[in-house]
A = this chain, B = another copy of it.
């Protein structure tokens, strides 16, 4: 079969999707949602440094792309939780791999940075 989509082509629509996914907040959100449905303010608390505005924007985009599902429960006051769709769930392994990579290889990265910087200074 031929390749209908190619991320290396800047006119390919996959670029737009890649642009959304290749985002710090999107990755952290998808990773956090893997454990199960989470409510809005809980996400805000869990993902440190994520402002309410950006959280709202990012969730909306992920929902539009079909990765996240928004559920409103008619309590008083209203409660909303976010969960991964089946489509979104196909990404969690990859997303988790990313986060795990940073945490597991941080020391190697720091070492490389130090070596790089001292090589310039020397």
Residues of chain A having any CB pair with chain B under 8 Å: 3-11, 13-15, 17-19, 21-24, 26-28, 31-32, 46-49, 63-67, 87, 90-91, 93-94, 97-99, 101-106, 108-113, 115-117
Contacts and interface: CB of A to CB of B under 8 A. Distances in A.
Contacts of A14: 99, 102-103, 106
Centre residue among A10, A15, A48 by max chain B CB count within 10 A: A48
Given A6-B103, A113-B65, A22 B27 contact: yes
Centre residue among A18, A31, A115 by max chain B CB count within 10 A: A18
**Copies of this chain:** 2
Contacts of A105: 17, 87, 90
B87 A13 contact: no
A99 B28 contact: no
Given A8-B28, A14-B106, A64-B113, 10 more contacts: A5-B103, A8-B47, A13-B106, A17-B105, A17-B109, A18-B28, A22-B26, A65-B112, A66-B115, A87-B105
